[in-house]
Amino acid sequence: MGGRISQLFGRWFPKVEPELRVGMLGLDNAGKTTILYQLKLDRNIESVPTVGFNVEKVRCGKMVMNIWDVSGSRPRTRVLWEHYNQNTRAIIFVVDATDVRRLPRALDELRWLWCRPELAEAVFLLFANKQDLPGALGAEQLMALLQLQSLTQQWAIQECCAINGMGLAEGLQQLQQMLTSTRGKRHSGTYSIK
Ligand code: G3D
Ligand code: MG
């Protein structure tokens, strides 16, 4: 249980801090649960299904991950965010790269996150998911459409396919690199293609 991601995080986050809080967010259907399944991160310690959206809390070693579907009732999601996500060091934001119609909504959620004062020092990893499907937008296109250049926090975007795992390990590696180099290094970003 939790084998692969335990190994990854054990290797990449050995002494970051006693508990590493990571928020995984994205619109519903983006692929968050599939990513977790692919990473075999299946120790679900809390699930708060509410009308319109879901919060799940997963622990793996020193990492505690709060997973959010952010498509639901916005005021409610945002109040709960403050309750669940104090001291979050990193955000993994999953985008369905084929869902062009809902990109503005994803951008809206991202913008809200990166303006949060408690996330001023957090790092952002975007997974451009579903690269196996025709019409999936690439990292470079999403970088422009999601206006990542305007992010003041450190960020990276990684193309991936949650179904076969392509790009997931690379994304986590980028997250680790950002977490170990956050101090004094702002306004930077990278993108990575398959
Ligand atoms: P969520 O947890 O963000 O809401 P899910 O999203 O992980 O439940 O995924 C939603 C749907 O997208 C699922 O299909 C899942 O299999 C599919 N999916 C997730 N990632 C990928 C991917 O990389 N490629 C493809 N082709 N599909 C993906 P269903 O049919 O079960 O609703
Ligand atoms: Mg889900």
In angstroms, the CA 13 to CA 7 distance is 10
**Which residue has its alpha carbon closest to ligand 1 atom 5?**
31
CATH code for the structural domain at 18-182: 3.40.50.300
CB 73 within 8 A of CB 107: no
Q: What is the pLDDT of residue 34?
A: 85
Q: What angle do CA 148, 153, 157 make, to 5 degrees?
A: 45
Which of 29, 129, 164, 168 should be mutated for ligand 1, with most atoms under 8 A from CB? 29
* pLDDT band, residue 42 (cuts 50/70/90): very low
Going from N- to C-terminal start, the domains of the chain cover: 18-182
CB 5 within 8 A of CB 75: no
CA distance to 75, 92, 110, per residue, from 122 (Å)? 22, 10, 13
Could you read off the pLDDT of 107-143 as tens digits, one per residue?
998 888 888 888 998 999 999 999 999 999 999 999 9
CA distance to 7, 121, 140, per residue, from 143 (Å)? 30, 20, 5
Report the separation in Å between the CA atom of 132 and the middle of ligand 1, taken as the mean of its atom positions: 12
- Is the CB of residue 162 below 6 angstroms from any atom belonging to ligand 1? yes
Give the nearest ligand 1 atom to 35 CA. Answer: 7
In angstroms, the CA 93 to CA 23 distance is 8
**Residue entry with tokens 């986590």:** 172
Mean of per-residue pLDDT scores for the chain: 78
Q: What is the pLDDT of residue 186?
A: 46
Ligand lying closest to the C-alpha of residue 29: 1
Phi, psi values for residue 178, rounded to 5°: -65, -40
Give the nearest ligand 1 atom to 164 CA. Answer: 23
- Is the CB of residue 132 below 6 angstroms from any atom belonging to ligand 1? yes
Instruction: Say whether pLDDT at 184 is over 50.
Output: no
pTM: 0.84
- Is the CB of residue 29 below 6 angstroms from any atom belonging to ligand 1? yes
Phi, psi values for residue 57, rounded to 5°: -120, 130
Give the nearest ligand 1 atom to 162 CA. Answer: 23
